[in-house]
Chains A and B, each alone.
Chain A
Amino acid sequence: MAADLKIALVGNPNTGKSTLFNLLTGLNQKIGNFPGITVDKKTGFCKIGDDKTAEVVDLPGTYSLYPKSKDESIVFQILADRENRSHPDLIVLVADATNLRRNLLLYTQVADLQIPVILALNMTDMAKKEGLAIDIDQLSKNLGVQVVAISARNNIGLKELKEAIANAPSIPTQEPGTDIQVLAPEAIAATGQLIKTTNPYFALQVLHQHSEMDIYTPEQHQQLNQIASEHNFESSKIQTAETVARYRYLGTILSGIITDTGAQKKFIMSDRIDKVLTHKVWGFAIFLLILLFVFNAIFSWSAYPMDMIEEGFARLTDLGHEHLPEGMLTDLLLDGVVAGLGGIVIFIPQIAILFALISIMEDTGYMARVTFMMDRIMRKFGLSGKSVVPMIGSLACAVPSIMSARNIENWKDRIITIMVAPLVSCSARLPVYTLLISLIIPDEKVLGFISLQALTLMGMYLISIIAAVLVAFVMKFLIKAKEKSYFIMEMPVYQRPRWNNVLLTMYEKSKTFVFEAGKVIIAISIVLWVMASFGPSDRFERIDQKYEKIELQQDSLAISTLERDRSAEKLENSYVGILGQTIEPAIRPLGFDWKIGIALITSFAAREAFVGTMATIYSVDSADEEATTIRNKLKGATDANTGLPLFTFATGFSLMLFYAFAMQCMSTVAIVYRETKSWKWPMIQLVYMTALAYFASLIAYQLLR
């Protein structure tokens, strides 16, 4: 779409930029009551006036144009580079009206870049509750730009904001603010000459940050370094002086603008809640209880819908077998695709509940308290309090969580978080665990009310979290720190969760899960089924001849199991059979036969493939039409070598451990590569996780068998 105008939403973290973005564009950018939810730019379109379309860019929040973390650096990159695709014609600076002075610091910096600006004062509903009155007209006069009061959460002031955007002049109108020149007169002049700019603030910024900017040539970088050393340019000192000067300027701008009638402060309520939720003793107890509640909810609330889905799919398969013509294509459709999809769809209730609960924790502001409480512990293990968010998020999926680690300022903390996040059991492991647990753990209650199966599942999650923390601890000693680690975070006040947002998250996440996993599963099912149904032709011929001979001999015992033996032998000699047998020697010590080996191979791309693969293999294998659900098929499965039941406790547990630790997710490898910009980290991760999985399974199986 061609846009008439490009707009960027800029502001401090947690001021409601994404909320406003969603209002303007109708998209569903993630929102949460936590500073640093948005970590990448996101583009949408919006109608302005009758005939104009604007391209709107939502950006990560930042306190200043000097970035402290990777997500924040995006803002300066876009604003400083006129050639950047997203470089705006107009900036809407979203400021929190309840904390105007600090929010306007960024405004003054942005205004000095000489890009047209509109100031949107958000959270005016809260400001009103607090008894803060802001003289909008006077503020607008003092700053020389349009100021609009809005409340994005309540959809107030949107019309006025759009009008302001439509009326915005294409040249900057802001009043000159602080005198920048005095900060480093010679250095600024020299830089201005070198990069050909008349804007002193831009020159100053370039001098501070050019090493992070890729728009200059190596010679230019060198020259800039020379200017800095020639003029004794001390970056930190000058930044401090700039900040002090800006606040002084804001003092005069804001005098007489804000009247505080001293009504109830927003944080009084928050304080009361925090007295309990971050209490010395109760704090952790409540956090643990909440986690327990989450797991219990995942299990007990979803039991009923899951049963229904399972039954539905079993019925669908039956119906298919009845009505579709018998043959290869039907088998592929029913045993491969439908069974595989059934294995995914059944987990929608659990995934929806998990995402809902995490989103409530974020939306209320509780997640910020968790980072606060956990920082001390996490630091001991080479992580930071902020690592808690990606780690809890990894319970759902590691891919977005690894991205969210961008708001961890310290490089080492961030790398370690990225390296261990995929160890935390994600929702894609849930199908594997649930299936295996139902095979090896009796459906009994402990103490009369806690399900043993649910307890085992929680145990698996616990094991995965402990593993993540221990690996982090080891890495703490192996990875060298580049800079000092710190933890300075704004604590948002508690907010009521927005239920429609929670519902939307449930819907969106389930949809993505089904579609993403569905694509992979259908593709893998087809390839797998073909490879399981065909094999080297000489081998297949030999099998056919052998069974024809048996049929002729009319041995009654052999004939009763004839079809079954024949398909089993064919599978063994099919392409996947051969593949599975090739790797069997390596996995035999873990208690796996070659059929499980096949599942391990298909799970390499995505672990979601496990259930579908098992379904396909055991369907091709058995002629038993009775067993329609995957669970029943696997219950009857026997070890291909010994003939004993396959899923003993030792094998099942060993297999669960393997899935808990192994890196079986191409998307994660890809995102780690993207986030670290090198193959080194994803490769280290792949190797250490595979090794961990292998040895954990080996030890478990050898001890338990």
Chain B
Amino acid sequence: MNLSQLTPGERGTIVSFTDLEMSVKLMEMGCLPGEIVEVERFAPLGDPIAIRVAGYQLCLRKNEASVIIIS
């Protein structure tokens, strides 16, 4: 399952990434394998989404969220 499939309020644990380049950026911003992520809200038009990870809020497009594999 990937992060873009969650709905607001749901959580998961990051397992891995499907896109190498994006993973560099995401990891630098604190999205590490093993971290718990929670989807906080969708933007009014359903995309991007805001997630809580490592104690702060990050927003990213669904497209980008889909490279984050969670369990």
Interface residues of A, Cβ cutoff 8 Å to B: 63-64, 66, 68, 98-99, 101-102, 105, 236-237, 239-240, 243-244, 247, 267, 270-271, 274-275, 278-281, 283-284, 372-373, 375-377, 385, 486-491, 493
A99, B52: Cα distance in complex, Å: 12
A278, B44: Cα distance in complex, Å: 7
A275, B27: Cα distance in complex, Å: 27
A100, B30: Cα distance in complex, Å: 11
When C-beta atoms are compared, the residue in chain A nearest to B55 turns out to be A99
A102 touches B54 (CB 8 A): yes
Which one of B23, B44, B52, B63 lies within 8 Å of A279 (CB-CB)?
Answer: B44
A243, B43: Cα distance in complex, Å: 30
A261 to chain B, nearest CB (A): 14
B25 touches A488 (CB 8 A): yes
Indicate with 1 or 0, residue by residue over B42-69, a CB within 8 angstroms of chain A CB atoms.
0111111010101111111101100000
A99 touches B54 (CB 8 A): yes
When C-beta atoms are compared, the residue in chain A nearest to B61 turns out to be A487
A247, B60: Cα distance in complex, Å: 22
Interface residues on B, range: 20 to 34
When C-beta atoms are compared, the residue in chain A nearest to B30 turns out to be A102
A63 touches B29 (CB 8 A): yes
CB of B24 within 8 Å of the partner chain: yes
B43 touches A373 (CB 8 A): yes
In the assembled complex, which residues on chain B have CB atoms less than 8 Å from the CB atom of A278? 41, 43-44, 50
A518, B30: Cα distance in complex, Å: 49
A68, B25: Cα distance in complex, Å: 8
When C-beta atoms are compared, the residue in chain A nearest to B31 turns out to be A488
In the assembled complex, which residues on chain A have CB atoms less than 8 Å from the CB atom of B40? 271
When C-beta atoms are compared, the residue in chain B nearest to A109 turns out to be B28
CB of B36 within 8 Å of the partner chain: no
In the assembled complex, which residues on chain A have CB atoms less than 8 Å from the CB atom of B25? 63, 68, 486, 488
In the assembled complex, which residues on chain A have CB atoms less than 8 Å from the CB atom of B58? 488-491
B44 touches A280 (CB 8 A): yes
A264 to chain B, nearest CB (A): 14
Which one of B23, B46, B52, B59 lies within 8 Å of A489 (CB-CB)?
Answer: B59
13 sampled A-B residue pairs with Cβ under 8 A? A240-B20, A247-B27, A247-B32, A283-B43, A372-B48, A376-B46, A486-B60, A486-B61, A486-B64, A488-B64, A489-B59, A490-B58, A491-B57
A237 touches B28 (CB 8 A): no
Question: Would you list the 7 A-B pairs with minimal beta carbon distance, nearest first?
Answer: A491-B57, A376-B45, A102-B30, A283-B44, A236-B20, A63-B28, A64-B28
A533, B26: Cα distance in complex, Å: 66
A236 to chain B, nearest CB (A): 5
A243, B31: Cα distance in complex, Å: 11
A236, B27: Cα distance in complex, Å: 12
| Contact of A267 with B57 at beta-carbon distance under 8 Å, contacts A284-B44, A487-B48 already known | yes
